[in-house]
Structure 1
Amino acid sequence: MATAAYDEIADWYDEEFLASQLDDPIGVERVLRELLGTGDESCLEIGCGTGAKAGVVRGLGWRPVGVDLSRGMLGRARGRLPVALGDAGRLPVRGGSVAAVVAVMAHTDMPDYPAVLREVGRVLRPGGVFVHVGVHPCFCGGFADRSDADAVVVRPGYLDSHWTMDSWTDQGIRDKVGASHWALPSLLHGFLDAGLTLERFAEGGAPTPTVLGVRARA
Structure 2
Amino acid sequence: MSGTTGKPSPLGATPRYDGYADWYESFNAPYAEANRDLIVRLLGRGSGPCLDLGCGTGLHFAALREAGHVPVGVDVSADQLAFARTRGTCVRANGATLPFADAAFPAVTMLWISTDVDDFQAVVREAARVLVPGGSLVFAGVHPCFMGPHIEHRDDGSRIVHPTYRIADWHEPQPWWTGRVGLRNRVGMRHVPLADLLQAFIDAGLVLETIVEPEPQHPVPPSLALRLRRPESPRH
Unaligned segments of structure 2, at least 5 residues: 1-5, 7-12, 231-236
Q: In structure 1, the residue corresponding to 2:213 is in which secondary structure?
A: strand
Structure 1 portions without partners, runs of 5+: none
Structure with the greater alpha carbon radius of gyration: 2
1:123 is matched with 130
- Give the match for residue 166 of structure 1: 173
How far apart, CA to CA, are the structure 2 residues paired with 1:4 and 1:191? 24
Partner of 2:224: 212
- Checking the alignment, whether the CA contact within 8 Å between 2:40 and 2:66 is kept in structure 1 is no
Say if 2:24 is the partner of 1:13: yes
Match of 2:70 in 1: 63
TM-score by length of 1: 0.92
- Alpha-carbon distance between aligned partners in 1 of 2:80 and 2:99, rounded to the nearest angstrom: 18
After superposition, the CA RMSD in angstroms is 1.7
For residues 90 and 158 of structure 2, the distance between their equivalents in structure 1, rounded to whole angstroms, comes to: 40
Relative to structure 1, the CA distance from residue 160 to residue 5 in structure 2 (aligned partners, 3 Å threshold; closer, same or farther) is closer
SS at match of 1:117: helix
- 1:41-80 residue pairs with structure 2 within 5 A? 41-80=48-87
Cα distance in 1 for partners of 2:199, 2:32 equals: 33
| Superposed displacement of residue 32, structure 1 | 1.6
Residues 18-51 of structure 1 show CA distances to partners (whole Å, capped at 9, x for unaligned) of 3553662xxx334322211111111000100000
Instruction: Specify which structure has the higher proportion of helix.
Output: 1
Superposition pairs for residues 44-193 of structure 1, below 5 Å?
44-148=51-155, 150-166=157-173, 168=177, 170-193=180-203
Q: Does 2:210 align with 1:200?
A: yes
- The 1:124–1:208 alpha-carbon spacing in structure 2 relative to 1, beyond 3 Å, is same
- Which digits, 9 at most, give the CA deviation of each residue in 1:67-119, with x for residues without a partner? 00010000011111110000100111110121000011112111100001110
> What secondary structure sits across from 1:166 in the alignment?
coil
Deviation at 1:61, TM superposition (A): 1.1
The Cα of 1:132 is off from its aligned counterpart by 0.6
TM-score normalised by length of structure 2: 0.85
Contact residue 15 and residue 76 of structure 2 kept, 8 A: no
Separation (CA, whole Å) in 2 of partners of 1:19 and 1:155: 30
Bigger relative contact order (CA 8 A; separation at least 6): 1
Q: 2:161 & 2:101 partners in 1: Cα distance?
A: 42
Distance 1:8 1:71 in 2: 10
Flag the 1:123–1:51 CA change in 2: closer, same or farther, 3 A.
Answer: same
- 8 Å contact 1:166–1:174 — kept in the other structure? yes
Q: Sort the Cα spacing of 1:39 and 1:20 in 2 relative to 1 into closer, same or farther, 3 A.
A: closer
Alignment CA distance shift 1:22-1:199 (3 Å):
closer
SS at match of 1:106: coil
- Structure 2 CA distance for partners of 1:128 and 1:19, relative to 1, 3 Å: closer
Distance 1:149 1:184, change over 3 A: farther
